[in-house]
Structure 1
Amino acid sequence: MQTLDALVADLVDRWTGDEQHPGDRGPGLIARLDQLALRTAQPRQAGGRSTPSSRPPASLDPVHWSTSIKAQARILDMQLRGSSHMQRWDRALKALPAGAEATGRVREVASTVGTWHSTVRTVLGLQAPSREMRGVRCLVCGQAAIHCRPDDDRPRAWCVNPDCEDEETGRPARYSGTRLYLLTRNTGQ
């Protein structure tokens, strides 16, 4: 699990990742969303039926997520600072670790930034999307709120119930290895 500082650095500066999620040390993840080539449909001279720049054939998800994360980061930074002044998105993101520590909200902010980090990697195709495990109950809170990422090399699952709190970590329960096997046996009829 990456620290809040490392998650922010991955989003803004360079995607270095960690042992479990190695990055390529290229541009930050948000810059990758912003630089995706939203090419237009093929122009007539290339055999297509549309004029150049008429409409994007690709999904606008990268633009949507980039804009959304930037706006949320600016708002969260304002809340942490207790200010009505809004900073640029990159400065706001870089200020989150210090603001979270000053207000005692490190766990909450780390969870939010971790969600952004995972979302960006999913939108960019750097990780598989998560899936809901229907009918499977969390071993900690007992709710049917389990999501999983069925990667071939490292399958894992986690509880999405915000009230779930694992005794070991103080965060919502996470499952991998033998613990994941126990979870799949817990269908809670």
Structure 2
Amino acid sequence: MQMLDGLVADLLERYRGDEQHPGDGGPGLIRRLDSLSLRTRPAAAGGHAPPGSRPPTSMEAVSWSQRIKTASVVLDAELRGSQHTQPWARALKAIPPGAEMAGREPEVRRIVSRWHGTVLTVLGLRGPSVHFRHALCLACERRTVYGRADDDRPRAWCINDACEDGDTGEPARYEGRRLYLLTANRTA
């Protein structure tokens, strides 16, 4: 999992990704949402991408951009304990140190990671996650498990914020053998 600083840098500056999922080093993900020319992605062999892989309409991308910008301003002010807000880019940059100072780094990393994943999905850089509606989370026993079947690493996770898996205090994550146990835990 990428650190909070890396997630913010991907959103704001350059999309570098992490060891398991390297980025392309291009413009930041939010800038790509805001610019129509950066949202189109040519096919690997050249030419245009097939219709199913194209990004969504421009209004949807701009809407997600605005939501993330607004949420980052609010989160930054909350972390600083201030009623005064900053411009969205400064607020987004201030989130990692603010989370550390407030002692809320794991919670804030989950929030920013959700933004990061949403942008990757909206831009078509990664497929959407799927709701495992028949699987119960092994930790909280709720039907709040989503997953993604990437070629290199299939995985699933619980989206219930009240879910606590073991000593980490974070919602459950499933990979490898544990993912198999989750999918075998089906109910009718």
Structure 1 length-normalised TM: 0.86
What letter matches 1:159 in structure 2?
A: C
Please give the alpha-carbon distance, in whole angstroms, between the structure 2 residues aligned to 1:94 and 1:138. Answer: 34
What letter matches 2:156 in structure 1?
A: A
Please list the CA deviations of residues 148-180 of structure 1 after superposition, one character each: whole Å capped at 9, or x if unmatched.
Answer: 112233211111111111115321111111111
Look up the match of 2:13: 13
Please give the alpha-carbon distance, in whole angstroms, between the structure 1 residues aligned to 2:14 and 2:169. Answer: 29
Please give the alpha-carbon distance, in whole angstroms, between the structure 2 residues aligned to 1:117 and 1:103. Answer: 22
Look up the match of 2:23: 23
Please list the CA deviations of residues 51-110 of structure 1 after superposition, one character each: whole Å capped at 9, or x if unmatched.
Answer: xxxxxx934111000001000000111111122221111100000011111111111111
Please give the alpha-carbon distance, in whole angstroms, between the structure 2 residues aligned to 1:170 and 1:97. Answer: 20
Indicate the RMSD between aligned Cα atoms, in angstroms: 1.8
Task: Tell me the secondary structure at the aligned position of residue 101 of structure 2.
Answer: helix
Look up the match of 1:117: 116
Q: Larger Rg: 1 or 2?
A: 1
What letter matches 2:110 in structure 1?
A: S
Which runs of structure 2 are paired with 1:95-110 in the superposition (5 Å)? 95-110=94-109
Percent identical pairs in the alignment equals: 59
Which runs of structure 2 are paired with 1:1-189 in the superposition (5 Å)? 1-37=1-37, 58-189=57-188
Of 138-147 and 118-127, the range deviating more from structure 2: 138-147
Please list the CA deviations of residues 10-44 of structure 1 after superposition, one character each: whole Å capped at 9, or x if unmatched.
Answer: 11011111012210111111011111249xxxxxx
Task: Tell me the secondary structure at the aligned position of residue 106 of structure 2.
Answer: helix
Gaps spanning 5+ residues in structure 1: where?
A: 39-56
Task: Tell me the secondary structure at the aligned position of residue 147 of structure 1.
Answer: strand
Please give the alpha-carbon distance, in whole angstroms, between the structure 2 residues aligned to 1:104 and 1:152. Answer: 36
Look up the match of 2:49: none
Please give the alpha-carbon distance, in whole angstroms, between the structure 1 residues aligned to 2:31 and 2:155. Answer: 28
Contact 2:164 / 2:172 at 8 angstroms: preserved in 1? yes
Count of residues in correspondence between the two structures = 172
Please give the alpha-carbon distance, in whole angstroms, between the structure 1 residues aligned to 2:83 and 2:186. Answer: 48
Residues 58, 160 of structure 1: alpha-carbon distance in 2 compared, 3 angstrom cutoff: closer
Please give the alpha-carbon distance, in whole angstroms, between the structure 1 residues aligned to 2:170 and 2:71. Answer: 22
Please give the alpha-carbon distance, in whole angstroms, between the structure 1 residues aligned to 2:116 and 2:57. Answer: 22
The structure where strand makes up a greater share of residues is 1
Structure 2 length-normalised TM: 0.86
Task: Tell me the secondary structure at the aligned position of residue 26 of structure 2.
Answer: strand
The structure where helix makes up a greater share of residues is 2
Please give the alpha-carbon distance, in whole angstroms, between the structure 2 residues aligned to 1:74 and 1:144. Answer: 32
Contact 2:15 / 2:25 at 8 angstroms: preserved in 1? yes
Please give the alpha-carbon distance, in whole angstroms, between the structure 2 residues aligned to 1:114 and 1:120. Answer: 10
